[in-house]
Amino acid sequence: MIKKQNLHTHTIYCDGTNTPEQIVEAAIEKGFDSIGFSGHSYMYYDNYIFPDRTVEYKAHINRLKKEYEERLKIYLGLEVDSYSGPETDLTGFDYLIGAVHELKRADQFFSIDESADNLRQVVEQYFDGDGLALARAYYEELSRLPEYGTFDIVAHFDLITKYRKVAAFFDEKSKQYRDYAIGAAEALAGKIPYFEVNSGAIARGYRTTPYPDPFIIKELKRLGFGAVITSDCHDCTKLDLYFDQAEELLRACGFKERYVLTDKGFKPVVL
């Protein structure tokens, strides 16, 4: 049974710092049973996300699956942005993660994931300085994910709080904010089966706790979502960083199990 796994892993095909081989070697060294690659999907208006290399990426990971079959189980995934567009081929993957890193206002696309300064500018430019309006737009877009594809996992549910340490654009304790987040959870319930407890922003120094906030995790539990633990890895030295904290958080929110991907689909592992 697969126990140690990370399904949210980026490589040099997008914004990660390592080759797939380096990730695989690091995973073996750290005692992983399996690893899933989740390159960012193509978006024509954002250079940050890899352009036409999807075919190459798929072939590369599929080749590694065979090369390493004796030592590590490898899965091929994709982290798909809601605005990736119809040119994104979603076929041939073992799993898909649905994510919102970009929003759109008046035909302009903008990132909500670039930097605190950038997000501050976004709030001013597109939301008249109203941070809650930004949060609302984010959760509305997140709610629409099932329109864009059939996803297994919702990525970093409250990504919009990424810069909370240095730039809080809204009060996360306010009823309004919570209603937006819960509204998205309700909209996705029964349509995307799993969410991730994602430690990536701790590893990169943005947060001190994993995504999502406990109040969201509890709502997701109430609504029947299964939990997957990931490190949203962009650097293979941090492949399993804060997994313990993520497990602890799930247990504190009432979860008894987390899910891992196997050859027979997602299966529970006792926490």
Residue 79 or 219: the one with the smaller Cβ distance to Zn ion is: 79
Q: How far apart are CA 58 and CA 63, in angstroms?
A: 9
Q: Which is nearer to Zn ion, 101 or 258 (CB)?
A: 101
Least distance (Å) between residue 46 CB and Zn ion: 12
CB of residue 232 vs Zn ion: minimum separation in angstroms? Answer: 5
State how far the Cα of 37 lies from the Cα of 9, in Å rounded to an integer.
5
> Least distance to Zn ion from the beta carbon of 81, Å?
8
Q: Which of residues 139-158 bind Zn ion (CB under 5 A)?
A: 155
Using the contact rule CB under 5 A, the part of the chain among 73-81, 88-96, 136-144, 209-217 near Zn ion is 73-81
Of 158 and 232, the one with the shorter C-beta distance to Zn ion is 232
Of 95, 112, 103, residue with least CA distance to 226: 95
> Segment contacting Zn ion (CB under 5 A): 15-23, 29-37, 42-50, 76-84?
76-84
Cβ burial of 38 (10 Å; 0-12, 13-18, 19+) is buried
> In 3D, which of 261, 255, 214 has the Cα closest to residue 34?
261
CB of 79 or CB of 213, closer to Zn ion: 79
> Smallest distance, Å, CB 128 to Zn ion?
27
Alpha helix ranges (H) inside the chain: 20-29, 54-67, 116-127, 131-143, 175-188, 200-203, 214-222, 243-252
- Closest distance between Zn ion and the C-beta of residue 210, in Å? 13
Q: Which of 46, 232, 235, 240 binds Zn ion (CB under 5 A)?
A: 232
Q: Is 99 near Zn ion (CB under 5 A)?
A: yes
**What distance lies between CA 259 and its chain's CA centroid?**
15
Distance in Å from the first CA to the final CA of the chain: 14
The answer to whether 201 and 115 are in contact (CB under 8 A) is no
Specify the stretch interacting with Zn ion by CB under 5 A; choose among 97-105, 128-136, 181-189, 203-211. Answer: 97-105
Six-digit token string for 32:
């992983």
Q: At closest approach, how far in Å is the CB of 58 from Zn ion? A: 17
Binding site for Zn ion (CB under 5 A): 79, 99, 155, 232
